[in-house]
Amino acid sequence: MKLSIHCGLHKTATTSFQTLCDANRALLYDLGVYYPNYDARPQHSYVLWDVQKSGLNALRNFLSQSFAEAKTNCHTVLLSGEDFENCIVDIALALEIETLAIESGFDAVEWVVVTRPVESYIASLYSELSKHSVVLRRGTLERAAKERGCFYISTNRYNYIFVFDFKRFAERFQQHVSRPVIEYSMGEFARGFPGAILLQGLLREEAFTRFSRLAKIDNQIQNESLDSTQIEVNYVSSTFGVGRLRAKRFRLLLAPLIWLRKRDIARRNADHSN
């Protein structure tokens, strides 16, 4: 049995794909692909949160349980969690995951990566991180992308590595993992329905046709980016520790700082276009 790990990147329709798989677990199982449940969540990043908190046993137990639950009916176990993106840079973690998978009974491990252009990734991630009580300037992300190709940040939940420039790390990642890495662009991944091209690669032709016909597919966009003002409200609120809800009460006091941050971004954008 194969373990397929969809490891991001972040902000590449991952939430939409995970929502699809979560809503169609039973159908996927009947067709030979097991999308396991972890802690009653729609995706699997949370197992890595537990690994960071308490070690590899959480992952070892999850993989063993997933294999046992899938082996009577399925040829593939599919995990999807954008926080597995860390593995692209943290090769030691990737190899530990592969080792645990083989010990759990899997025959092979494959990695699936979905990429998007660097600038649009930065813009979308900058919006997303504003929701997570971090203090950050967009210029910091842009500089990290240019100089290092990735960005490290710690929140109260997880230590993240965001890979802006996958090509910079792809060869090294490929050299260490056991099978060829499957790479799709975000456009390819979102075509038809989220993750259609990934599932088409996992399911037999007849099974994919049946899934396309019977699956519950929600075409609503998930996790949309915020408008530029709300993004800066969130960051300024985090700076002063007032919280996003309480920030409404302090909007007039915060307004000059929000304006300055937006002006800084506008100037950077103008510099990039010149």
Query: Does a structural domain hold residue 58?
Result: yes
What confidence score (pLDDT) does residue 37 get?
A: 96
Last residue of a domain, one of 192, 214, 236: 214
What confidence score (pLDDT) does residue 243 get?
A: 63
Last residue of a domain, one of 186, 214, 242: 214
Query: Does a structural domain hold residue 221?
Result: no
Query: Does a structural domain hold residue 223?
Result: no
The residue type at 90 = D
Residues 138 and 258 occupy one common structural domain: no
Number of domains present in the structure of the chain: 2
- Residue count of the chain, please give it: 274
Residues 128 and 247 occupy one common structural domain: no
Query: Does a structural domain hold residue 188?
Result: yes
Residues 175 and 47 occupy one common structural domain: yes
- Averaged pLDDT, 217-229: 78
- CA 90/CA 22 separation, integer angstroms: 28
Each residue of 90-132: pLDDT tens digit? 999 999 999 999 999 999 999 999 999 999 999 999 999 998 8
What confidence score (pLDDT) does residue 249 get?
A: 57
Residues 96 and 191 occupy one common structural domain: yes
CATH number at residue 196: 3.40.50
Residue corresponding to tokens 């499957």: 182
Question: In sequence order, which residues have a C-beta less than 8 Å from that of residue 88 and are 6 or more positions away?
Answer: 7, 94, 113, 161, 163, 166, 169, 173
Give the 3-state secondary structure of residue 212. Answer: helix
Domain extent, residue 21, equals 2-214
Higher pLDDT, 136 or 263: 136
Query: Does a structural domain hold residue 44?
Result: yes
Each residue of 24-50: pLDDT tens digit? 999 999 999 999 999 999 999 999 999
Residues 129 and 240 occupy one common structural domain: no
Does the pLDDT at position 222 exceed 80?
Answer: no
**CB of 238 closer than 8 Å to CB of 135:** yes
- CA 109/CA 129 separation, integer angstroms: 30
Q: What long-range pairs does 189-193 form, CB within 8 A, spacing at least 24? A: 189/12, 189/13, 189/17, 189/114, 190/13, 190/16, 193/20, 193/217, 193/219
Each residue of 124-150: pLDDT tens digit? 999 999 988 888 999 999 999 999 999
Query: Does a structural domain hold residue 210?
Result: yes
Residues 200 and 254 occupy one common structural domain: no
Last residue of a domain, one of 164, 180, 214: 214
Question: In the structure encoding, which two tokens stand for residue 258, read together?
Answer: 């929000």
- Averaged pLDDT, 56-67: 98
- CA 242/CA 112 separation, integer angstroms: 39
What confidence score (pLDDT) does residue 246 get?
A: 52
Residues 13 and 99 occupy one common structural domain: yes
Does the pLDDT at position 218 exceed 80?
Answer: yes
The residue type at 120 = S
Query: pLDDT band at residue 198, thresholds of 50, 70 and 90?
Result: very high
- Averaged pLDDT, 220-229: 77
Residues 27 and 61 occupy one common structural domain: yes
What confidence score (pLDDT) does residue 236 get?
A: 81
**CB of 186 closer than 8 Å to CB of 116:** yes
Mean pLDDT of the chain: 91
Residues 166 and 269 occupy one common structural domain: no
What confidence score (pLDDT) does residue 269 get?
A: 66
What confidence score (pLDDT) does residue 59 get?
A: 98
Query: Does a structural domain hold residue 219?
Result: no
Residues 36 and 168 occupy one common structural domain: yes
Residues 81 and 206 occupy one common structural domain: yes
Residues 208 and 233 occupy one common structural domain: no
Query: Does a structural domain hold residue 222?
Result: no
Burial bucket for residue 183 (CB in 10 Å: 0-12, 13-18, 19+): middle
- Averaged pLDDT, 9-25: 97
